[in-house]
């Protein structure tokens, strides 16, 4: 039975990691979070030691190691801007780490993480779960079949993802671009990883909208032109979604193919952990291209809206719910 510790136990994504650890037959021996809102631990590991102070968590792991009961993996579900530091902590403590996206906000830090892992003799794994989604795997195969017969073919791809968030989002670390990486990083990096996994290294990007609640742009690959739109504002939902009472909208089209990825997500963390424990898993190197893409999206000057932009990029911008009221 593999022994796990977890950093960020009160986070939104932590329950999926807890479920995955449980379902692959692991045991959680310790968890840490500055917040004590961790009642979901009871569903999986009620006997796990829990700490709200990092120093006591660190001491506990050291004592376990001294007794020959060291943890083998540390799962990281902390805020995005802390991932880099927590990965290094796990490696220094002799554990492999399994980190939520993104492993770091800045692509040049990946090299340092790799060096730290090599020095420690441990591995860094990250959750790139869309690569394990059956429909995404089938889509990648379809694309490759098309390119095998027509290597110069250019796919026309349209991606829209709207996941409604309330005003709490802006008061949390997620609403701070320095801590979350902004909309494209926080809700989009999995999709951009999927696209570069299918099409390879991007050849160029443009960004038309980059605000507190949405982002939109285009990506050019050697065999694909991508239009994308991401938003956390419910007002940007298509009217049909609003009429149906939906809070989330996902749409991905590849030429004549319409890809439905509304299902099949709930078990992907378990699949990711199973993949890791059976000798697979995705490393920090696998994540590097997508991290570079979203970092460039934050830094590029905005382009003027034109016919290449996603149609939703033309929607009127909304005021920030707090900044204009201070």
User: How confident is the model over 106-125, as a mean pLDDT?
Assistant: 97
pLDDT for 317 equals: 87
Q: Give CA–CA dist 122/98, Å, rounded.
A: 11
Q: Give CA–CA dist 154/252, Å, rounded.
A: 16
Composition of the chain by helix, strand, coil, percent to 5: 45, 20, 35
Q: With a cut of 80, say whether residue 266 has pLDDT above it.
A: no
Which letter does DSSP use for residue 224 in this model? E
pLDDT for 325 equals: 52
**Whole-model pTM?**
0.94
Q: Which of 210, 161, 170 minimizes the C-alpha distance to 189?
A: 161
pLDDT for 322 equals: 83
* Phi–psi pair at 25, nearest 5 degrees: 85, 15
- The arrangement of secondary structure in 130-263+283-325, i.e. its CATH architecture, is 2-Layer Sandwich (3.30)
Q: What tens digit of pLDDT does each residue of 80-104 get?
A: 999 999 999 999 999 999 999 999 9
3.40.225.10, 3.40.50.720, 3.30.70.20, 2.60.40.10: CATH of 3-126: 3.40.50.720
3 state SS for 228-281: EEEECCHHHCCHHHHHCCCCEEEEEEECCEEECCCCCCCCHHHHHHHHHHCCCC
SS3 for 21?
Answer: helix
* Phi–psi pair at 176, nearest 5 degrees: -105, 110
Q: What is the DSSP string of 178-189?
A: HHH-HHHHHTTH
Q: With a cut of 90, say whether residue 274 has pLDDT above it.
A: yes
Residue ranges per structural domain of the chain? 3-126, 130-263+283-325
């Amino acid at each position: 039975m593999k022994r796990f510790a977890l950093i960020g136990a009160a986070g939104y994504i932590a329950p999926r990691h807890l479920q995955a650890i449980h379902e692959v037959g692991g045991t959680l021996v310790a968890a840490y979070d500055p917040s004590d809102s961790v009642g979901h631990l009871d569903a999986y590991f009620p006997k796990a030691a829990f700490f709200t102070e990092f120093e006591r968590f660190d001491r506990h792991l050291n004592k376990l190691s001294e007794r020959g009961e060291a943890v083998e993996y540390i799962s990281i579900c902390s805020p995005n801007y802390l991932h880099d530091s927590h990965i290094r902590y796990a490696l220094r403590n002799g554990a492999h780490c399994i980190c939520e996206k993104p492993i770091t906000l800045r692509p040049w830090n990946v090299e340092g993480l790799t060096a730290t892992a090599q020095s420690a003799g441990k591995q860094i794994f990250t959750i790139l779960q869309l690569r394990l989604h059956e429909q995404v795997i089938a889509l990648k195969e379809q694309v490759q079949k098309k390119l095998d017969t027509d290597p110069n073919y250019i796919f026309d791809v349209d991606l829209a993802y709207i996941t409604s968030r309330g005003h709490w989002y802006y008061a949390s670390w997620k609403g701070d671009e320095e801590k979350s990486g902004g909309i494209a990083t926080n809700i989009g990096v999995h999709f951009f990883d999927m696209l570069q996994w299918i099409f390879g290294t991007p050849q160029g990007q443009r960004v038309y909208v980059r605000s507190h609640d949405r982002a939109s742009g285009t990506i050019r690959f050697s065999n694909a032109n991508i239009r994308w739109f991401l938003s956390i504002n419910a007002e940007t939902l298509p009217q049909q979604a609003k009429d149906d009472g939906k809070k989330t909208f996902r749409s991905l089209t590849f030429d004549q193919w319409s890809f439905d990825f509304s299902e099949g997500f709930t078990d992907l963390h378990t699949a990711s952990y199973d993949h890791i424990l059976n000798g697979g898993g995705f490393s920090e190197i696998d994540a590097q291209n997508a991290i570079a893409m979203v970092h460039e999206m934050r830094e590029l000057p905005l382009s003027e809206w034109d016919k290449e932009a996603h149609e939703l990029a033309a929607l009127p911008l909304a005021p920030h719910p707090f900044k204009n009221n201070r």
